[in-house]
Structure 1
Amino acid sequence: MLISAITIFLICVLVGSLTAVHGLKCMSCFGSGLDNCDSRGRMLTCMPNQKLCETVVRRDGVHMTVMKGCKNDRACRDNQMQNTRYAGRSTQCNLDQPNSVCTCCCGKNYCNVGFSTCTGHFASSAPVNDCPEVPDNFPHGNIECNNENKAGSVCEYQCTGQDYFVWPKGQEVNVCLRNGSWARELPCCARPCPPYYLLDDVLLFHLKGENQQNRLDTLLRRFGDLKFAEDALKMAALYYATKPIETSVVRFNEYGADFNRFLELALQRISVVPGPANTGAAIQYALDNLLAPEAGVRDSRVPKAIWVFIANANPADDVKTPSEEARRLGYQLFVVGSETNGFKFDRKKLFEITGNEEHLFLFDNDVSNLSTENVAVINNYFCGNPCDHVLHDHE
């Protein structure tokens, strides 16, 4: 009997110490009712000195507000003791007076979800229903629920894939409400965008002046914070002058999904060739040869874009015809240009490429000075809801 008592004592100490190490988890919310509070709330991991979850229900006539959160154990117990304190005709926590304040304390994870002991008399008379079943499959992660799909059950979403996080942010926990609905829609495990986004991107370069390799190295490294992957960003590149320089081409299928290898090939093949900037011919070449299956471009589910990087030179040929064709195919076109030494672009000509003023990024310094912040702004054009990633199974 003594051994059994000691064993139980040690188990209690161990469980208590684990809770202290990992922190008690409580619902934190403020709402106009118990279900309303849970549906708006989030789970908090309490501070070490907060050993209890607290629920406070205040009623003022027909109005009821609910507040839940972590609480210091002594403070919570003191508040709970006020429930039976004499107030008016009965107690502070009551059903027979216009005003009432009820406090509940509990010490287990998620124990203040739903109706606590001292708030049971505020429960709706509506029937309690099960929620839709929890999915068996949660791609790139898993779901753990403390009571399956029953009312009051709390489900935690965890992502196991590298660089995958629960999306939308802050919705790692869901609650089954008494009316049979989940407090939130099912999230997904996704990678953040940026640095991950889905795009086949063609870069066209016409840069004049000395130190081309160093300037291109600086410019391309701005994209190094982005993540290349078979289900994320891939790039192709081309240098051009009077005509596209075919020996400079880097195709989508030449480097796997390795950014450093892409950078190496792009710098090895740089070609400084004098001549006008026949940008229209370069765009047409990209349409015919780079945005084609034999160059490794992915299928129509993956968005496509063409970027023209140009310095101190206006396009010298017809850009309108190939650019309109690219836009008709659903491709996005952008121009990143630099104006130095008094040079000014013919903006009407650049607009014929992009068809959108917001797709023009013009600088009064070297285009290689494109900042990481500029790149982030540009990249946000291609960041949507990551749960809609067409190459991932989020169903």
Structure 2
Amino acid sequence: MSKCILLGLLITVLTNAEGLKCMMCYGSSSFDDCNMNGRIEQCMSNQLTCETVVRRHGNRMTVMKGCKDKGACRNNQQQNTKYSGNSSQCNKDQINSLCTCCCETNMCNVGPPTCTEFYMDAKPEQDCLEPSTVLPHGNIECYGNNKPGSAVCEYQCMGKDYSVWPKGRLTNVCLGNGSWAYEPPCCARPCPPYYLLDDLQIYHVTGNDAEKQLQEMLEFVVYGVIAFDAIKISTMYHSGDPVESSIVQFNDYGENATLLVELVRKRMSVVNEGELSTGNAIQYALDNLFVPEAGMRDGRAPKSLGIITNTNLSEDAKGPAEEARRRGYIVYVNAYQTGSTKFDRERLAQITGAEELVYIFDDDIEAVTAQTLDVMDKYFCHNPCDHVMHEHQ
């Protein structure tokens, strides 16, 4: 047996092992509609043919595509020339027409069928623009030389927790008008827990059990995945002045969430000296921690400033908080209501700029934590394709 024959047999075996891929749609109103709303399916091992069926009643067309048994598809295609009415079953000179075409290579049934042109008058078509071949955290494979109706791009994401978004948009097809059916997708990770965010948390606690309450607050210091292209956290304690020895900067721990927690617990303790000045703490954070030297990322990563306390904020907090909001930062307050302390939600909302960013924790901490995460989702989980630290091509 010659090497060529052996090679041919090997290719056949590999193709069958992997399975044929065909465009699949049901009841589409046109080939472009099928391309946009259908999907590429992996055929079963006994389905060695891609089938296209086109029904026409007057000017109304219905397109069906999918995998098919080879013998069954060929039998259907042979009916194209069967005598019907004044001509054949597959025609363009009668009100009704039924055409079937079969092909046997991957995605060969994308676009109009090639075995007949009797389904409808042909329309002029133009090539699509060359698609991008760059998909961060993924791969793109394109076929068909940008030809309308036959060019297809397939998308696959690589790496931990990355998937194609919008969900299920694994293929893109060149339409007859020379445009791609969709904007290219991206490879994204779910938000939550992959918030893209620089979050700076400033703490102040008072009372006989202040140290214990502080440690309880620190249980929630990490609430998402810590990574360069996810959440980064900085922390600081304050009273009359910021306690510089308590500071953990954005760049102190790399992407190590365990190290972050260790540093926060090691450096953070209750140091209440002088009259409380929340405004000083916020201004210090704006001037010294929300800076690239402290690990703050560029504008692709949104910013938030959290004030975590069990007592009312000082009167000087409003001005610096407004400055943070002018910069586009989200300001929020986690207020732990204990003992006789009563928080004025309306006054705190003047600090945050929105009442929904004020979280008053009482006995039902889990419920308020769930509310907090819901609001986090609202502010920081929009289009997953925007939650990246790279540019889309």
Indicate the TM-score class for this superposition, using the shorter chain for normalisation. Answer: 0.7 to 0.9
- Paired with 1:239 and 1:74, the residues of 2 have a C-alpha distance of 76
With over 3 angstroms needed to count, the CA separation of the structure-2 counterparts of 1:371 and 1:315, relative to structure 1, is closer
Please name the residue that 1:262 is paired with: 260
> Which amino acid letter does the alignment assign opposite residue 253 of structure 2?
Y
Task: Give the structure 1 partner of residue 21 of structure 2.
Answer: 25
Query: Match of 1:319, SS?
Result: helix
Give the aligned partner of residue 287 of structure 1.
286
Aligned amino acid, residue 28 of structure 1: M
Bigger shift: residues 346-355 or 383-392: 383-392
TM-score computed with the length of structure 2 as normaliser: 0.83
Structure 1 residues 22 and 217 mapped into 2: Cα distance closer, same or farther (>3 Å)? farther
For residues 194 and 169 of structure 2, the distance between their equivalents in structure 1, rounded to whole angstroms, comes to: 20
2:94 counterpart letter in structure 1: Q
User: Following TM superposition, by how much is the alpha carbon of 1:217 offset from its aligned partner in structure 2, in angstroms?
Assistant: 4.7
Q: Is the 8 A contact 1:149 1:176 kept in 2?
A: yes
Secondary structure in structure 2 of the residue aligned to 1:122: coil
SS in 2 for 1:21: helix
SS at match of 2:122: coil
Q: How does 1:151-166 map to 2 (within 5 A)?
A: 151=148, 152-160=150-158, 164-166=162-164
* Superimposed CA distance per residue, residues 273-330 of structure 1 (whole angstroms, 9 cap, x where no aligned partner): 468865334322322322134423234453211012234x332433221211111121
Question: Aligned partners of 1:56, 1:328: CA distance in 2, in Å?
Answer: 59
1:215 and 2:211 correspond: no
Give the corresponding residue for 1:103.
100
The CA deviation at 1:266 is 0.7
Please say which of residues 21-30 and 138-147 is displaced more in the overlay: 138-147
Aligned-residue Cα RMSD (Å) equals 3.3
Q: Cα offset for 1:370?
A: 6.0
Classify the secondary structure of the residue corresponding to 1:126: coil
1:342 and 1:63 map into 2 onto residues whose CA distance is 74
Equivalent residue number for residue 50 of structure 2: 53
Alignment of 1:222-233 (within 5 A): 223=223, 225-229=224-228, 231-233=229-231
Which consecutive residues of structure 1, in runs of 5 or more, have no partner in the other structure? none
TM-score normalised according to structure 1 size: 0.83
Task: Structure 2 unaligned segments of length 5 or more: list them.
Answer: none
**Are 1:67 and 2:56 an aligned pair?**
no
Count of residues in Structure 1 that have an aligned counterpart in Structure 2: 387
Shift of 1:203: 1.1
For 1:172 and 1:348, the matched residues in 2 are separated by: 48
1:113 Cα offset (Å): 0.3
The reply on whether 1:93 has 2:90 as its aligned counterpart is: yes
What amino acid does structure 2 have at the position aligned with 1:131? C
- The superposition leaves residues 88-130 of structure 1 with CA deviations (integer Å, 9 ceiling, x where unpaired) of 4444333232122223233321011012234533365333322
**AA in 1 matched with 2:18:** H
Compared with structure 1, are the counterparts of its residues 148 and 96 closer, same or farther at alpha carbon in structure 2 (3 Å cutoff)?
A: closer
Equivalent in the alignment of 1:147: 144
Q: Distance in 1 between matches of 2:340 and 2:60?
A: 69
Counterpart Cα distance in 2 of 1:235 and 1:219: 12
Identity %: 51
Residues 341 and 122 (structure 1), Cα distance of their counterparts in 2 relative to 1, 3 Å cut: farther
